[in-house]
Amino acid sequence: MRDQLTAAARQSKARPCPQCGADTPYDERFVMWCAACDWNVDPGGAEPARGRFEEMQRRLAHRYGEQLHAELLADPDAAKGRVAALRGHSVDATHPPTHLRRHLIEAGEPAAAAVVIDPGAAASIAAELAPARETVARAVIRDLAG
Ligand SMILES: [Zn+2]
């Protein structure tokens, strides 16, 4: 990959940007765009979404991307935590890394639950949570699918 990028850089030539005149790398294998003024950054625009679900995914991806960008600008140290999470390590140095805790759980034998409830208790908990479930479901539909 690195050799391909290096080879691509060697073949790249500069041309003046048609919009601002800045020297712009040109390679016939790629779409030319200008870093100085963003000319031709997205020449074709986004492909139309193939359905409502894809529209929702795009909105969420955009929203999460914007949130992540704002969080990282506000707290650059947060990036360290995200990298640690991606690697499976805990930010908290007083505990074993997450991947080791996961491994321990996976290696252990199944055990009986410490708390067991009877079907009547389960039904009463479900009835108690039903209004909250409805509220959450409405919020999910309103915020994510609306
Ligand atoms: Zn330009």
List phi, psi (to 5°) of 25: -60, 140
Q: Which residue has the higher pLDDT, 13 or 79?
A: 13
42 Cα: distance to centroid of ligand 1 (angstroms): 13
Residue 96 has a pLDDT of 72
Ligand 1: centre distance to CA 23 (Å)? 8
Interval 103-142: pLDDT, tens: 888 888 888 888 899 999 999 999 999 999 988 888 888 8
21: left (phi over 0), alpha (psi -120 to 50) or beta: left
Looking at residue 91, its pLDDT comes to 54
- The pLDDT value recorded for residue 58 is 87
pLDDT digits (tens, 9 = 90+) for 25-61: 888 888 888 989 988 887 777 778 888 988 898 889 8
State in Å: Cα 132 to ligand 1 middle: 53
Instruction: Specify the DSSP element, H or E, that contains 16.
Output: strand 13-16
Nearest to 24 by CA among 8, 40, 42: 40
Q: Are 26 and 15 in contact (CB under 8 A)?
A: yes
Of the pLDDT bands very low, low, confident and very high (cuts 50, 70, 90), residue 145 is: confident
CB 84 within 8 A of CB 90: yes
